[in-house]
Structure 1
Amino acid sequence: MHNPEVEIESLTHDGRGVARLDGKTVFVAGALPGERALIRYIKRHRNYDEARVEELLSRSVDRVEPRCPHFGVCGGCAFQHLPAGRQIEVKQNVLAENFERIGKVSPERWLPPLGDEEWGYRRKGRLSVKWVEQKNKAVVGFREDNPRFIADLSVCHTLLPEVGRRIDALSELIGSLEARREIAQIEIAAGDDTVALVFRHLLPLVEADREKLKAFGVQHDLAILLQPKGPDSVHPLWPETLDLYFRIVEADVDLAFKPLDFIQVNAGMNQRMIRRTLDLLDVQADDVVLDLFCGLGNFTLPIARHAAAVVGVEGDEGLVARAAANAERNDIDNARFHAADLLLNHASTAWARAGYGKMLLDPPRSGAAAVLDYLPRKGTDRIVYVSCHPGSLARDAGILVNRHGFRLAEAGVMDMFPHTALVESIALFIR
């Protein structure tokens, strides 16, 4: 049958419906539980198939109209057909399933989900660019589900409006350049007062192109930077100097950063996440706290406002330097920072052997398993773990509970990336 009919039973973590057909699992893009649909196969596999909705025969009561005209083509979003409240339920179910299946643990208490603005929240991102001769235009967008292709966007509703509503204008700008074939990507980085665009160009730019880029920045009040080579080659075109920073209201802290630095993409959620982290850590005036994977000091400096001392450790030496500079910028003298690759064993280093009553972990997607080979030490009785990947959190939760004698007291999800399949979560472990 060319377009078979299926009934959707459940939803995957990445927003696809799950159906059964002739004893085989079919993952159906664009379908929701309870719906019946005619489907079109995309790819057949031995143990499962992939398909997309060709025609909806019945609609879920949960279904909403996606705001973005590119939903279903652009790979950036997975859940625009679900309301935000249901999205966060799906993500909490993903976290719970990972805890049970991978870590063999479950929290004693589920924290209320954290949410904030669901549109126009993304202050950090990377747009791919390609000049397409057949279209006679520069295609600007995120990757499609098939990462070989760039979605030809006209607008993006998750990016900050200063950029998201100007995708067409960026396409026209690049199409007008002599270097239209040499622009590979545009990095977006927004502080509280400035939105910056970094243009990666593969060959040097002629003066006329530089002037067009500068004029675009002036017209739209966007800082324009150029990246001719690696990350260290980034430099401002207009204005000549740039002060990117964001304020953490909870701690009366300003964090300065460079355009390619890692920062949390959702400014409002970052404020809420820091508040929840401080609450869960329960930092007291005599506490000494260890903050691993500390980055620019996003958590370290707010902790320092409440603790006797805090030590931040991070693998990127540039971020460590900027974290220390941010401490000085905010007149904080009880925070110390160290550069160390936390995928390696640092059990013999002075910072690892020191005593910490409390510890914060905020690792990348791969998690913190390598650190948990030698930490926490005996005196650490409270750990807060902020995670961007539920599978690695679940694995590490199993290590903390079964090897180090902690209990998983509380856990919950935080919707750092509304409409996407990314799951941000937080967990509290108590010895």
Structure 2
Amino acid sequence: MARRKPLPPGDYPAEILDFDQNGRGFARVDGKATFIADALPGERVRFKYLAVGKDFDEGQCVSVEQASAHRVEPGCPHFGVCGGCSMQHLHPDQQIAFKQKQLLDQLQRIGKVAPQQIAPPITAANADDVWGYRRRARLGAKRLPSKGGAVVGFRERNTHFVTPLTQCPVIDPRVGQKIMQIRALIDSLSIPDRVPQVEIACADRVAMVFRLIDPATDEDLAKLTAFGAREGVDVYLQTGGPATIRPLSADPQPLTYSPDGSDLRLRFEPTDFIQVNGFISQQTVNQALDWLELQAGDRVLELFCGLGNFSLPLAQRGAEVIAVEGEQALVDRARENAQRNGITGARFEKADLFRTEAGVDWLTPEFDKVLLDPPRAGAREILPIVAARKPQRIVYVSCHPGTLARDAGTLVHEHGYQLARAGVMDMFPHTGHVESMALFVRA
């Protein structure tokens, strides 16, 4: 194993030239590329080294000698230690500009394409909505006597340690303002060092899933039940894999949300995937459907459909939808959601979209338009099969601009599509995470 280079002691000056793709400041220190966390372009800072490499170094800003006009005071007391957010020191408008630039740069650099039109970004309705937006989170937990007992939070930056949060202003305040109550609850149990994780889901109701390595005692169960009643939370326990998740209540109330702001209601389980930001997700769904230019009777293929977030609004607007997902539990949930909402124009299928053959049954019908919402890996494997069917329009919703750029290059350079439009959605304010959408039309 190669020995790590020793870090230079003390702190050093740097002029910040730009951002890197993770939102760190980029500088050249003695001619060497150096990426400095919490530093902004145009600033003169002092930094300490975090890592020294052959091609580049990494550092942490320790003081700002000349500040950017776009620097703001972070809204969280844990900023700089907690790894949950990395851009609270940058004005929200400039966070959007950073994300738009990341999208366009990667489309050009990786895909060798540029959109004919840059779509206005989808952002919060007002300035306050960049706080308290997270309706889903997975928090680590650990008992640390040196920190006063149980701690709960996201991982610290650059470590595997749990940040001892006292609050979290980006999580729904029904949970984010109750971190200390959660810590006290864990500390009061007979197994405080055997609760490694708390997963939360906030919709019309709030659910918390406590991961337990060892069984809870009757007294523990009573304390968990009392906590749920006192704090207005539905408590679930997880003793193994996802199949072991069980509610403490014998008759738990379902979690539901509207995918598009209409009267549609989607039911989901506390650990099901739903988009983190409810308002931005609704605007994303409506924009995707608008970009498809749906006509009554359009045949739409939706891939990576989850529990029906796009599928049900598509069908409600008159499309005939074939929706495909790789996880059977989500397919079952999507079918149930369609039935509950009286939707008959959506057919749900399970398939591994990274290993699909061209002749599968659900690809047999003709379709006019396609909606893709893949994971970070993108849609490389299924894309040639879809493009060969020559749909008029393809809307691609992406959580990783690099794989979107790669797939955009494939559609444009190999399959004759034009990149008509692209833009970002601010799904994760105060982070460098870039969600985006692209519209492809046949040339």
User: Take 2:47 and 2:143, find their aligned partners in 1: how far apart are those partners?
Assistant: 33
- Which residue of structure 1 lines up, in the alignment, with residue 176 of structure 2? 164
Counterparts of 1:370-385 in structure 2 under 5 Å?
Answer: 370-385=381-396
Q: Pick from 415, 431, 434: which aligns with 1:404?
A: 415
- CA 15–111 in structure 1, closer or farther in 2 if over 3 Å, else same: same
- Which residue of structure 1 lines up, in the alignment, with residue 18 of structure 2? 10
Is 2:294 the partner of 1:283? Answer: yes
SS of 2:196's partner is: strand
- Bigger shift: residues 211-220 or 358-367: 211-220
Is 2:205 the partner of 1:194? Answer: yes
- Which residue of structure 1 lines up, in the alignment, with residue 349 of structure 2? 338
- Aligned-partner residue type, residue 108 of structure 1: Q
Q: CA deviation at 1:373?
A: 2.9
User: Take 1:424 and 1:379, find their aligned partners in 2: how far apart are those partners?
Assistant: 26
1:355 touches 1:377 (CA, 8 Å); kept in 2? no
Is 2:425 the partner of 1:414? Answer: yes
Q: CA deviation at 1:169?
A: 1.2
- Which residue of structure 2 lines up, in the alignment, with residue 253 of structure 1? 264
Is 2:285 the partner of 1:274? Answer: yes
- Which residue of structure 1 lines up, in the alignment, with residue 40 of structure 2? 32
- Aligned-partner residue type, residue 22 of structure 1: D
Q: CA deviation at 1:253?
A: 1.0
Is 2:212 the partner of 1:206? Answer: no
User: Take 1:418 and 1:295, find their aligned partners in 2: how far apart are those partners?
Assistant: 23
- Which residue of structure 2 lines up, in the alignment, with residue 296 of structure 1? 307
Cα deviation, 1:225-270, whole Å, max 9, x if unaligned, reads 1001110111111363231110235443110001111001111011
Q: Which runs of 5+ in 1 are unaligned?
A: none
Count of residue pairs brought into register by the alignment: 430
Q: Pick from 365, 369, 375: which aligns with 2:376?
A: 365
User: Take 1:25 and 1:292, find their aligned partners in 2: how far apart are those partners?
Assistant: 40
- Which residue of structure 2 lines up, in the alignment, with residue 223 of structure 1? 234
Cα deviation, 1:155-182, whole Å, max 9, x if unaligned, reads 1011000110111111111111111011
4+ residue segments displaced more than 4 Å: none
SS of 2:436's partner is: strand
User: Take 1:248 and 1:134, find their aligned partners in 2: how far apart are those partners?
Assistant: 44
Instruction: Give the alignment's TM-score, normalised by structure 2.
Output: 0.95
Is 2:80 the partner of 1:69? Answer: no
- Which residue of structure 2 lines up, in the alignment, with residue 48 of structure 1? 56
User: Take 1:92 and 1:60, find their aligned partners in 2: how far apart are those partners?
Assistant: 19
2:298 touches 2:319 (CA, 8 Å); kept in 1? yes
User: Take 1:307 and 1:290, find their aligned partners in 2: how far apart are those partners?
Assistant: 14
Cα deviation, 1:300-324, whole Å, max 9, x if unaligned, reads 0100012341010000000000100
2:118 touches 2:423 (CA, 8 Å); kept in 1? yes
Equivalent pairs: percent with the same residue? 48
Cα deviation, 1:59-100, whole Å, max 9, x if unaligned, reads 111000001011111111011001111101000000011001
Q: Pick from 138, 151, 154: which aligns with 1:142?
A: 154
1:289 touches 1:360 (CA, 8 Å); kept in 2? yes
- Aligned-partner residue type, residue 302 of structure 2: D
Instruction: Give the alignment's TM-score, normalised by structure 1.
Output: 0.98
